[in-house]
């Protein structure tokens, strides 16, 4: 079922207190399709259906199109707040695939990309669709000015499992072909290895790194999805049908409302990726298990980028065994952006000891002098090892 509705707004600024703000350079998202016919059984975005009067289980069957999205986006991009003071990267593909089959009829993504190019706004795209090649011309123009990067979601390469887990998405062969075509046309591409699928991902990693290298990818980005109970039940059902003898519950932490891969399982996948990254010369980046980074986490195709937490880790390494003030962190941020809202958020992370809270393998000590918060990274072979040359 499809329906069209008008929207009053489109661009959504990412919450400064969320993990995406801390680890990723994206500062806004926009979604003009509600629902996704790829119908991935683990997708967290089913909740969005309630926004248009449907049930979560309608996610893979019904699509709502924000028919006036291009018109609204044009107005928003021309506002002073966006046009003159906002240089953050905009992300397409958070709660829907921008190149799902409905795009063939409505061409919303193509319209959006042309508008973003017209206003010279940098964009990252996440997709599972080879239909991205239909927007090749505008992507080439954006790439020529370092305004676009495309990630393909590939977490395993078992085609029979894909037909059960991601029935509406492109085959893995089609995705790798699209990666290679984009790269050959000067467009930066990467692989988003998410979600990690127990049993299957580990057995597919060599294939993913090898084919990714041959396609010219900039990196493999490792991610770990968290599921609600309903999503987990659907995922487990699909996995158990393929491998009835495997105890998939043993791979997950089933406590609490959010279900994710157990820490030790995630660590083993990260270690395996680290070795393959070294073997194939493909940089590995991840917002967890930072000690296994082998490349700069900087989405480096962009001319402008907001600093990530890894920029501040680099700052701490450069000032090892010395107290670092917020003024030094603000100076680091100032090299990339001049947005007061970003500095306000950075100040909150700094004062509340949240900035380095995910880096337990680093010996970073907080202290207070005259009411001001300082941090010190204590040197040593282990405490200084962030996993990448930085």
Tens-place pLDDT, residues 213-247: 999 999 999 988 888 888 898 899 999 998 998 99
Could you tell me if 221 and 365 lie in one domain?
Answer: no
Residue 87's pLDDT is 65
Residue 381's pLDDT is 55
Residue where a domain stops, chosen among 264, 292, 320:
292
Tens-place pLDDT, residues 135-194: 999 999 999 999 999 999 999 999 999 999 999 999 999 999 999 999 999 999 999 999
- pLDDT averaged over the chain? 90
Contact assessment for residue 270 and residue 289, using Cβ atoms and an 8 Å cutoff: yes
Residue 229's pLDDT is 87
Q: Name the range with the highest mean pLDDT among 84-98, 199-213, 242-256, 295-309.
A: 199-213
Residue 84's pLDDT is 57
* 382 lies in some domain: no
Whether residue 338 is predicted with pLDDT greater than 80 in this model: the reply is no
Q: Residue 256: pLDDT band by 50, 70, 90 thresholds?
A: confident
Residue where a domain stops, chosen among 232, 258, 292:
292
The mean pLDDT value for 12-33 works out to: 83
Tens-place pLDDT, residues 199-209: 999 999 999 99
* 297 lies in some domain: no
Could you tell me if 277 and 346 lie in one domain?
Answer: no
Could you tell me if 343 and 276 lie in one domain?
Answer: no
The mean pLDDT value for 290-300 works out to: 82
Residue where a domain stops, chosen among 261, 292, 323:
292
Whether residue 344 is predicted with pLDDT greater than 90 in this model: the reply is no
Backbone angles phi, psi at 158, to 5 degrees: -80, 110
Residue 86's pLDDT is 63
Could you tell me if 265 and 358 lie in one domain?
Answer: no
Whether residue 383 is predicted with pLDDT greater than 60 in this model: the reply is no
Tens-place pLDDT, residues 259-274: 999 999 999 999 999 9
Q: Residue 120: pLDDT band by 50, 70, 90 thresholds?
A: very high
Cα 378 from chain centroid?
31
* 277 lies in some domain: yes
- Separation CA 259–CA 182 (nearest Å): 35
Could you tell me if 334 and 241 lie in one domain?
Answer: no
Tens-place pLDDT, residues 41-75: 889 888 899 989 999 888 999 999 999 999 999 99
- How many Cβ atoms sit within 10 Å of the Cβ of residue 185? 13
Could you tell me if 262 and 363 lie in one domain?
Answer: no
Q: Check which CATH number belongs to the domain holding 191 and give it.
A: 3.80.30.30
Q: How many domains does the chain have?
A: 2
- Separation CA 270–CA 285 (nearest Å): 10
The mean pLDDT value for 78-92 works out to: 76
* 314 lies in some domain: yes
- Separation CA 100–CA 129 (nearest Å): 7
State which residues form the domain around 112: 2-292
| 3-class secondary structure per residue, the chain | CEEEECCCCCCEECCCCCHHHHHCCEEEECCCEECCCCCCCCCHHHHHHHHHCCCHHHCCCCEEEECCHHHHHHHHHCCHHHHCCCCCEEEECCCCCCCCCCHHHHCHHHHHHHHHHHCCCCEEEEECCHHHHHHHHHHHHHHHCCCEEEEEECCCCCHHHHHHHCCCCCCHHHHHHHHHHHHHCCCEEEEEECCCCCCHHHHHHHHHHHHHHHCCCCCEEECCCCECHHHHHHHHHHHHHHCCCCCHHHHEECCCCCEEECHHHHHHHHHHHHHHHHHHCCCEEECCCHHHCCCCCCCCCCCCCCCCHHHHHHHHHHCCCCCECHHHHHHHHHCCCCCHHHHHHHHHHHHCCCCCCCCCCCCEEEEEECCEEEEEECCCCCCCCCCCCC
Residue 68's pLDDT is 97
Out of 131-140, 294-303, 309-318, least confident range: 294-303
- Separation CA 99–CA 118 (nearest Å): 20
Could you tell me if 333 and 204 lie in one domain?
Answer: no
* 359 lies in some domain: yes
The mean pLDDT value for 316-338 works out to: 92
């Amino acid at each position: 079922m499809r329906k069209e509705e008008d929207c009053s707004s489109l661009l959504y600024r990412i919450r400064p207190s969320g993990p995406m703000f801390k680890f990723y350079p994206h500062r806004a998202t926009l979604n003009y399709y509600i629902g996704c016919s790829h119908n991935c059984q683990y997708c967290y975005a089913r909740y969005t259906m309630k926004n248009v009067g449907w049930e979560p289980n309608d996610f893979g069957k019904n699509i709502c199109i924000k028919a006036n999205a291009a018109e609204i986006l044009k107005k928003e991009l021309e506002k002073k707040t966006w046009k003159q003071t906002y240089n953050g990267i905009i992300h397409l593909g958070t709660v829907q695939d921008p190149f799902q089959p409905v795009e063939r009829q409505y061409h919303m993504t193509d319209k959006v990309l042309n508008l973003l190019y017209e206003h010279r706004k940098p964009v990252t795209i996440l997709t599972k669709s080879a239909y991205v090649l239909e927007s090749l011309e505008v992507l080439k123009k954006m790439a020529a000015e370092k305004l676009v990067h495309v990630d393909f979601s590939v977490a395993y390469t078992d085609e029979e499992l894909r037909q059960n887990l991601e029935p509406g998405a492109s085959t893995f062969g089609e995705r790798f072909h699209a990666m290679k075509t984009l790269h050959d046309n000067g467009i930066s591409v990467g692989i988003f290895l998410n979600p990690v699928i127990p049993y299957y991902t580990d057995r597919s990693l060599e294939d993913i790194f090898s084919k990714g290298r041959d396609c010219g990818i900039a990196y493999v980005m490792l991610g770990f999805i968290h599921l609600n109970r309903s999503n987990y039940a659907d995922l487990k059902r699909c996995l158990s049908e393929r491998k009835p003898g495997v105890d998939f519950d043993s791979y997950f932490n089933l406590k609490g409302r959010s279900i994710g891969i157990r820490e030790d399982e995630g660590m083993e996948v990260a270690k395996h990726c680290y070795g393959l990254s070294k073997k194939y010369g493909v940089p590995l980046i991840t917002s967890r298990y930072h000690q296994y980074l082998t490349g700069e986490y900087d989405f480096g195709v962009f001319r402008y980028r907001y600093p990530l937490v890894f920029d501040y880790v680099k700052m701490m390494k450069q000032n090892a065994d010395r107290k670092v003030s917020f003024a030094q962190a603000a100076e680091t941020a100032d090299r990339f952006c001049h947005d007061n809202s970003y500095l306000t958020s950075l100040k909150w992370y700094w004062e509340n000891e949240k900035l380095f809270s995910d880096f337990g393998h680093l010996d970073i000590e907080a202290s207070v002098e005259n009411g001001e918060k300082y941090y010190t990274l204590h040197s040593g072979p282990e405490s200084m090892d962030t996993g990448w040359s930085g």
